[in-house]
Amino acid sequence: MFVIILTILLSFKRHKVVALSLGFFLLGFAWMGIISAQTLSTQIKESYLNKPILVTGKVVELPKNTTRNTKFIFKAHSPFQGKLKLAWYHHSPNLRTGDAWQLLVKIKHNNSYQNLGGFDYEKWLFYKRIDATGYVRASPSNQRIDDANQTLSIDQIRQAIRHSLAPILQQQEFGGIINALIIGDRSLISTKHWSLFKATNTTHLSVISGLHIGLISGFMFLLIQFLWRYSMRLSRVMPSQIAAAFFGLGSAFIYALIAGFSVPTGRAFIMASVLFLAIIFRRHHNTWQLYGIALFLVLSNDPLNIFSVGFWLSFYVVAVIIYGSHQHQDKSWLYRLIYLQLLINLATLPLTIWFFSAGSIVSPIANLIAIPIFSFAVIPLALIGALLHFTGLAYLSVMVFSIANQILLYLTKILEQLQQFEFNQWHYSQTSLVDLTLFILAMFIALSPKGLKLRWLSIPILGLLFLTPNHTIKHNSMLVTTLDVGQGLAHVIQTRNHILLFDTGARYASGFDLGDSVITPYLRAKHIQHLDKVIISHDDNDHIGGLNNILQNFDITEILSSVPEKIPTKATNCQAGQNWTWDGVLFEILSPNKKSKLTDNNASCVLKVSNQKYSILLTGDIEKATERHLVQNFTKKLKSTVLISPHHGSKTSSTQAFLTAVSPTLVIISSGFQNRFHHPHKTILQRYQANNIQTLQTQCSGQIDLLFTHDINIKEYRKDAKRYYLRQCY
């Protein structure tokens, strides 16, 4: 820091631009620190966490209703102040934004699964300034204490619009998308439609975004400018361009307001405002200067925008548009439009696969078709339908919405055909910012003007990406990864040429699937397409729940399980005595026996994996009965360097006799943060400590990697990828 300040002072006279740039960088860094410190300082005291507590406050933002619950943001006022993300189960009442409530809630620290390739939910909560998450407990104390009708806010207007349009839009298959285009509320979009848009990289079209703000304000600007010129009187009062800029600015403001001034729409409004205000005040800045001013204002308004994927993509896309709009000006408008659309899709490919670890090959085609349809048909029809509805022309409104719905129906049929191409999705492992920079540089050089004669350089630059050292696993070595799946279990064991998956985490009634959100992203990030063997220890949801997703996404050679009848494809019983060797690493099933009468948790598959020097014992959810059986029949085989704690550290397992037989130096415990079972039990932790066994827990470490070679190399993802906003264990 001192060096930067000194550089600024010494270079101010001779290199004023450099000095000012460094100065702004320091100011931005300081501003980011201040806002981050303020956000972190609002964290709720420990005394209010993990127990029922009565709070009063107000519902803010639009509640999201599902068949199982209502999710909403609650701004607590007493006994503490904070922003809570809550879920209300079991016949929740009709919550309205602006209503004041007294609620009995149970909340906990922000938390997320921390794994390679996974979504960082804690970062998202921090960016949204959510102080804690939790749920509303059933209680007579839950009561509305103030009616939202006594006040008026934009969210209440948006909720009134949603409520008024609901009877009409519920009759339309794509009513959720039309609703999202009108008020920016995507909670009614079906999972099927959202998945389709996601697979074809067209999700940005289905909700109010920067594209829509720019489209509406730009259309209003051109329309008013065209009409204004036909009036000599108006033209003498104010030039048509300036008058049109006022209308463009106003329409951008109104549309952003209807969308609740969400972060993306607020960002788009700032960008549009810079352009229109420059016209109004007749400031003749070039396009890049206006771009820089907009960027400065957005980050000044909220520096936490840097945590938003939308921020990077939106400003990146605008930069691409500015660059592309100056190319091929001698060509027809249609040629330039198609060129610009393809340029955007190709240029954004590096960021898309960086942020989402995947890219859609058909995305350029999908967007080339979908953007004009949304821009010139669906969005105008959605807004016209809403205006007709609120002016009392209900019949015309229904007709317009039906036309928009029919257009979306035909569009989705096209997108579904594109989605079916086997090569549509390709996956990429996040490595370093150097790779991302090289990828973007190569893409822009490849798309540079032909006259520069630089396009050939993109090939060697892309080639540098493949020179990244490939850390292959050596013969007689193994990498054992315990994924952070909360209160559940999932291990990935890799040898030089083979992959084994042991258990698949949970799938919840809400539809949230650990296979989809943790295991598949991890395997994709590791470029794994095929699993040689999958073992499902038993049929508890937290061990088998994610299996269907794995079956849909990966080729699997063989499945072993203690409950093969519960597997929706061919599977074999895991039985003691089964063994195989991969790349010098021995795999042995120790339980259950063929004639065993053990059931449920005690019937879990028990797997020992060994190289010439070390071994690890995977135990599923076995309890005392199976531990006793193993001690009696496999005393010598049980001895292992590392033990996966039986049953997540439950007090029904990890008996002293079993620990003595295994004699591990390290125990890995897979358990959820502040889980309702209170795993691992403090008695078991004390027993591990008494036996001088080191313990690691996924709830503190996140994903845990153990590389067994000539020694054991341990990596803890939550600590290795440490960020200041992440929850820490002490």
353 closest CA partner among 521, 510, 567: 521
The mean per-residue pLDDT over the stretch 91-95 comes to 85
pLDDT band at residue 207 using 50, 70 and 90 as cut-offs: low
Q: What CA–CA distance (Å, rounded) separates 193 from 203?
A: 9
pLDDT tens, residue by residue, 8-25: 555 555 666 667 777 778
Contact by Cβ (8 Å): 578, 589: yes
* Closest of 200, 193, 208 to residue 408, by C-alpha: 193
**CB-based contact 518:505 (threshold 8 Å):** yes
For residue 425, give the 3-state DSSP assignment. Answer: strand
Task: Please tell me which residue, 230 or 611, carries the higher pLDDT value.
Answer: 611
Q: Where are the alpha helices (DSSP H) in 424-583?
A: 433-446, 458-465, 514, 520-525, 541-544, 547-553
The amino acid occupying position 12 is F
**Residue 37: pLDDT over 60:** yes
Beta bridge partners of 135: 87, 106
Q: How confident is the model at residue 81 (pLDDT cuts 50, 70, 90)?
A: very high
pLDDT of residue 428: 64
Mean pLDDT for the stretch of residues 569-586: 94
The C-alpha R_g of the chain, in whole angstroms, comes to 29
Distance of CA 311 to the CA centre of its chain: 14
Measure the CA–CA gap between 476 and 613, rounded to whole angstroms: 9
Q: Is the pLDDT of residue 509 over 80?
A: yes
Confidence category of residue 7, pLDDT binned at 50, 70, 90: low
**What average pLDDT does the segment 178-185 reach?**
87
pLDDT at 535: 97
Task: Compute the mean pLDDT over every residue in the chain, rounded to the nearest whole number.
Answer: 87
Q: For residue 96, is pLDDT > 90?
A: no
* Alpha carbon 406 to chain centroid, angstroms: 31
Which tokens is 40 given? 């972190």
Tens of pLDDT, residues 644-693: 999 999 999 999 999 999 999 999 999 999 888 889 999 999 999 999 99
Minimal CA–CA distance to 414: which of 472, 458, 373, 474?
373
Tokens of residue 554, six digits = 């990966």
More confident residue, 73 or 216: 73
The answer for residues whose C-beta is within 8 angstroms of residue 319's C-beta and 6 or more apart is 291
Q: Decide if 706 contacts 713 (C-beta within 8 A).
A: yes
Reference 263, options 131, 357, 129; nearest CA is 129
In this prediction, residue 62 carries a pLDDT of 87
The pTM score is 0.86
Give the least confident one: 54-68, 145-159, 178-192, 233-247: 145-159
pLDDT for the residue numbered 720:
87
CA atoms 677, 607, 705, 687: torsion sign: positive
| Confidence at 470, pLDDT banded by 50, 70, 90 | low
Residue type, 445: I
Residue-wise pLDDT for 516-540, tens only, equals 999 999 998 888 989 999 999 999 9
C-alpha 564/C-alpha 560 separation (Å) is 7
DSSP designation for 340: H
Averaged pLDDT, 99-126: 92
Q: Which range has the worst mean pLDDT, 130-134, 316-320, 654-658? A: 316-320
* 154 vs 403 pLDDT, higher one: 403
Q: How far apart are CA 359 and CA 374, in angstroms?
A: 22
Tally DSSP H helices, then E strands, for the chain.
29, 23
Q: Using pLDDT thresholds of 50, 70 and 90, give the confidence band for residue 208.
A: low
pLDDT at residue 572 in the model: 94
What pLDDT, on the 0 to 100 scale, is given for residue 422? 59
Residue 550 tokens, joined: 């794995």
- Each residue of 641-679: b (16+ CB within 10 Å) or e? bbbbbbbbbbbbbbbeebbebbebebbbbbbbbeeeeeb
What band does 308 get if pLDDT is binned at 50, 70 and 90? confident
- List of residues 6+ apart from 323 with CB closer than 8 A: 343
**Residue 689, helix vs strand vs coil:** helix
Structure tokens at 704: 């845990």
Percentage of the chain with pLDDT > 90? 45
* Residue 705 or residue 444, greater confidence: 705
Structure confidence at residue 117 as a pLDDT band (50, 70, 90): confident
Answer whether residue 168 shows pLDDT above 70: yes
Q: How many residues does the chain have?
A: 730
The residue type at 724: Y
**Would you list the DSSP string of 78-118?**
ESS-EEEEEEEESS-----TT-EEEEEEEEE-------TT-
Higher-pLDDT residue of 394, 626: 626
Phi/psi-derived region of residue 511, left when phi > 0, alpha when psi is between -120 and 50, beta in every other case: left
**Arithmetic mean of pLDDT, 306-334:** 82
pLDDT of residue 569 exceeding 60, the answer is yes
DSSP 422: T
User: What mean pLDDT is predicted for residues 433-443?
Assistant: 78
pLDDT for 234 = 82
Torsion angle (degrees, nearest 10) of CA 238, 244, 249, 254:
110
Mean pLDDT of the region 410-431: 76
What pLDDT digit, counting tens, does each position of 601-646 carry?
Answer: 999 999 999 998 999 999 999 999 999 999 998 888 999 999 999 9
Higher pLDDT, 434 or 18: 434
Question: With 80 as the cut, is the pLDDT of residue 464 above it?
Answer: no
Residue with tokens 């699993």: 531
- 3-class DSSP string for 291-310: HHHHHHHHHHHCHHHHHCHH
